[in-house]
Structure 1
Amino acid sequence: MALKIRLARGGSKKRPYYQIVVADARSPRDGRFLEKIGSWNPMLGKDDEKRVELNAERITHWIAQGAQPTDRVLRFLDQAGIAQRPARANPNKGLPGKKAQERAAEAKQKAEDAAAAAAE
């Protein structure tokens, strides 16, 4: 049985609340789970200590049993120091496109030409 440590949504409309659960990977998101091991309340502030609550002992137990955390849960575990999340680096993601780079180079060249003309 493939186990996942994932989020199960609760709460009302536009007021989400998530339970961190261990469930079979084939079961529905909010369906049957084996154990509740934490919670996440995104409505609280980022500095609030009750925003993410984790049962570290049970999480390490389930990871030892082969449960795989989802990416969002792995972020929480990394912040808590329970598991290590590998860094994902895409250095080209933040760069402007080819046309934008060309426009920026043209603008820089015009500015340099204007500065040189003013200096003369």
Structure 2
Amino acid sequence: MIKLRLKRFGKKKEASFRIVACNSTSRRDGRPLQELGFYNPRTKETRLDTEALRIRLTQGAQPTDVVRTLLEKGGLLEKKVRPSIAIGKANLEKEKIAKAKSKESESANKEAES
């Protein structure tokens, strides 16, 4: 299976990444099949070879999570609501509702006491 992943390069503690297509069993910094872009997390600079990426995606290449978010920001993929994100948002909504109810009950108790 072909994966779209990040390949690290650069100095110590100043990493930059190349977006590459490689076999899923190969090493992170091994020889890639094709280099498809560049990402610098310090400056948030991203360069994508859109034609080559589209070809690889139509061939069935699977992007990793980080590469997927970069492609979504670049407009090559549609944003998907991932289950973990949806569950997290649902839990946040439940917590907000519970806090609001507890505040209402506390204010009602204070008014009843006075």
Q: TM-score range by the shorter chain?
A: 0.7 to 0.9
The answer to whether the aligner puts 1:76 opposite 2:61 as a matched pair is no
| Structure whose CA Rg is larger | 1
Which residue number in structure 1 is paired with residue 23 of structure 2? Answer: 24
Which residue number in structure 1 is paired with residue 60 of structure 2? Answer: 66
Please give the per-residue CA displacement for 1:41-61, whole angstroms capped at 9, x wherever unaligned.
0011x5xxxx11101011011
Counterpart-to-counterpart distance in 1, 2:28 and 2:20: 10
- Identify the range of structure 1 (76-85 vs 55-64) with the bigger mean alpha-carbon deviation: 76-85
Aligned residues: 106
Please state how far the C-alpha of 1:117 moved relative to its aligned partner: 3.3
Q: Give the TM-score normalised by the residue count of structure 2.
A: 0.78
Please give the per-residue CA displacement for 1:64-105, whole angstroms capped at 9, x wherever unaligned.
222111111111111111122421211444355xxxx59x73
1:31-42 superposed matches below 5 A: 31-42=30-41
- Structure 1 gaps, min length 5: none
Which residue number in structure 2 is paired with residue 113 of structure 1? Answer: 109
SS at match of 1:32: coil
> Which structure features the higher share of helix residues?
2
Which residue number in structure 1 is paired with residue 3 of structure 2? Answer: 4
- Structure 2 gaps, min length 5: none
Counterpart-to-counterpart distance in 1, 2:76 and 2:18: 18
1:72-111 superposed matches below 5 A: 72-88=66-82, 89-90=86-87, 91-94=89-92, 95-96=94-95, 105=102, 108-111=104-107
SS at match of 2:27: coil
